[in-house]
C-alpha cells in the first residue's frame, strides 16, 4: 500500500505542478496586494512546499519503513489538504460568481481562474486518494 500511496502522491504532485505553472504564468505572484477574493502567494506556496516536504518524507519512509515517518508525512498531508481545501473554496466561489455574470477574462482576473476544471478535479481526487492511502499505510492496514 505504501507504493500505491507513493504513486498517487507523485501523480497528485504532477497535477499540482501544472496548476502552479498556470498560476505563476498568469501573474499569481503579483496578487499579493490586489484586493478581492483570490489565492495569495503565501497560501499556494505553503501548500506546494509542505506537500513537497511531505513527499520527500514519504519517499524516505518507503525506503526505510520507519512508522514515525509515515505518521509525520500524514500530519503534513493533513495540513496540505486543509490549505488545498481553502484554495479550492476560493477558486470555486469566484468561478461560480463569474459564471453567474459571464465575467470576461481581463488582466485583473485572478490567476487561478485560468485553471482547467478537469485538472483541478483530478488533482483533488488524487489528493484525497493519497490522503486515505497514507493514513491506511501509517495505521498498518495491508502490511
For residues 103 and 14, the model is more confident at: 14
What was the pLDDT predicted at 132? 97
Alpha carbons 75 and 62: distance in angstroms, whole number: 16
Which sign does the torsion angle of CA 85, 95, 90, 27 carry?
positive
pTM: 0.89
Confidence of residue 5 (pLDDT cuts 50, 70, 90): very high
List, for residues 106-119, the tens digit of each pLDDT value.
Answer: 667 888 999 999 99
Nearest to 107 by CA among 26, 23, 22: 26
| Contact of 124 with 84, CB cutoff 8 Å | yes
Alpha carbons 140 and 143: distance in angstroms, whole number: 6
- Cell digits of residue 20: 502552479
Confidence of residue 95 (pLDDT cuts 50, 70, 90): confident
List, for residues 23-45, the tens digit of each pLDDT value.
Answer: 999 988 987 766 668 899 999 99
Alpha carbons 128 and 81: distance in angstroms, whole number: 8
Amino acid at each position: 500500500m505504501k507504493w500505491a500511496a507513493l504513486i498517487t502522491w507523485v501523480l497528485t504532485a504532477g497535477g499540482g505542478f501544472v496548476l502552479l505553472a498556470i498560476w505563476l504564468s498568469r501573474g499569481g505572484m503579483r496578487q499579493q496586494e490586489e484586493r478581492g477574493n483570490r489565492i495569495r502567494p503565501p497560501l499556494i506556496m505553503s501548500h506546494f512546499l509542505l506537500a513537497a516536504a511531505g513527499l520527500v518524507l514519504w519517499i524516505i519512509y518507503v525506503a526505510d519503513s520507519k512508522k514515525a515517518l509515515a505518521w509525520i508525512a500524514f500530519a503534513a498531508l493533513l495540513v496540505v489538504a486543509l490549505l488545498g481545501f481553502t484554495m479550492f473554496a476560493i477558486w470555486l466561489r469566484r468561478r461560480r460568481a463569474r459564471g453567474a455574470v459571464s465575467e470576461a477574462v481581463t488582466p485583473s482576473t485572478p490567476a487561478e481562474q485560468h485553471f482547467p476544471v478537469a485538472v483541478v478535479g483530478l488533482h483533488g481526487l488524487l489528493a484525497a486518494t493519497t490522503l486515505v492511502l497514507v493514513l491506511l499505510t501509517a495505521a498498518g492496514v495491508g502490511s
